[in-house]
Amino acid sequence: MRIQALAFSLVLIVNICHAQKSPIDVHAFDKVFQLEELLEPVDLQSEIFLVQRATSDDEYLYVFNDKESPVIKAYRLEDGEYMGGFGTVGKGPGEFDGFNRGSFNARKGQLVTQDRKYVRIYNIDKSSDQLKFEKVLEVRMPEGLGIVNQGILVNDGLYAGSIMFTSKDFVSFPISNLSKEIRNETIGDFGDYPQEYPDIPTTAYHHIYQGGSTYAYEGDALVRYYSMVPMLRFFSLPDGEYYDIRIEPKNAQIKNVEPDPRGKSIENGIQMVGYFSNTKIGRDVVISEYQERKYRRVAMTERGNLERVPLTEKFLLVFSRKGELLAKLSPPDWLEKFHVTPDNRLIVFHPEISDQLFTVDLNQFR
């Protein structure tokens, strides 16, 4: 009886950890602010012409752009001072060959990078007016796992990322002492896929749950957003426990999702509704870009043959780390790239203004 009671208690605890709150009707939520009215400019000493990926700590913003040299540049957030940079793109020793933009993260006084072959960790020396970046670890990506996307350090010794056709959302492996043939017993995983379509083969899950979707990461937590599911999933690290925040959409997802003959993709994916398209996380807040939309086929252009068709207005939704909706920000039409610092500052990059950043203190909504 005691064993049965213990087993029941453990199941109950797991169910509570994964329990979903009632869906949030973001369309009826009326605490709305015009984002452009909140922006505070920060003049930059050195211009930023293109932001392909940004990460930060409380003091510095780190920007990646493979069209410039160095490819990684640092700016002091307080006054926009250029603090130096490092890195080149190429196939030589120490160069970035196929830089994985989704795997560029600041963590615990370090920068973590990944390209086709290597995960590299750099210490950030903040002792002078110019930052210095010292490579302290370089490990070759294990062969046989496939392409690892959106890599993160789960803890100091464990690396994780998303891989297509896997049974869990994230696959993890030790960051040190990797060999070309990683042992199966060292590979872990975490993160259940949502179960919106239990009849779809798991080999097609990547199309529904990973396609067009990624996550925001901040040391001890990450938030996965889904393009084709109106839901955010909040993970705690390193244990991988999570809870879900669901949105009540105006446009429900289609029900007749059809896998292709191979069972590795979705045959009618173009008919599916999209929801989230970006998410960033700070120490206390999460901000997510939300707009319901579909796509339609058009004549081929330099940007492809699919055209985005908005079904609702676009908003940046501000949540607490506990999943409470705090505010809606109505963005200007020009908004493309944004970032959130660990101390809850929204950083906005204007595509036509290269010598300024624009910031918003998100603590005002807590």
* Residue 2 banded pLDDT, cuts 50, 70, 90: very low
How far is residue 305 from each of residues 38, 297, 302, measured CA to CA in Å?
A: 36, 6, 8
- In the chain, the amino acid numbered 187 is I
Of all residues in the chain, the percent with pLDDT exceeding 90 is 60
Cβ–Cβ under 8 Å, residues 94 and 72: no
Beta bridge partners of 274: 293
Within 13 Å of residue 66, how many CA atoms lie on the same side as its CB? 12
Out of 10-19, 87-96, 319-328, pick the least confident: 10-19
Specify the DSSP class assigned to residue 102.
G
Summarize the confidence of residues 167-177 as an average pLDDT. 83
Token match 């990684």: residue?
72
Specify the DSSP class assigned to residue 206.
I
Give the model's pLDDT for residue 254.
Answer: 92
3-state secondary structure of 255: coil
Phi, psi of 3 (to 5 degrees): -65, -40
Q: Is the pLDDT of residue 147 over 80?
A: yes
Q: What is the largest CA-CA distance in the chain?
A: 70
Give the model's pLDDT for residue 302.
Answer: 76
* Residue 143 banded pLDDT, cuts 50, 70, 90: confident
Give the model's pLDDT for residue 184.
Answer: 56
Chain-wide mean pLDDT for the chain?
Answer: 88
Can you give the residue ranges of every domain in the chain?
A: 19-365
Identify the residue with better confidence: 20 or 276. Answer: 276
Give the model's pLDDT for residue 10.
Answer: 36
Give the model's pLDDT for residue 63.
Answer: 96
Fold (topology level) of 19-365: Neuraminidase (2.120.10)
- In the chain, the amino acid numbered 111 is L
Angle (CA) 128 129 135, round 5°: 60
Q: Is the pLDDT of residue 18 over 80?
A: no
pLDDT digits (tens, 9 = 90+) for 91-118: 998 899 999 998 999 999 999 999 998 9
DSSP class per residue in 166-203: -SSSEEEEESSS--SB--GGG-EEE-PPP-S-TTS-GG
Within 13 Å of residue 81, how many CA atoms lie on the same side as its CB? 10
Q: Is the pLDDT of residue 125 over 80?
A: yes
Token match 């922006």: residue?
39
How far is residue 40 from each of residues 32, 33, 37, 79, 97, measured CA to CA in Å?
A: 18, 15, 9, 12, 36
Give the model's pLDDT for residue 182.
Answer: 54
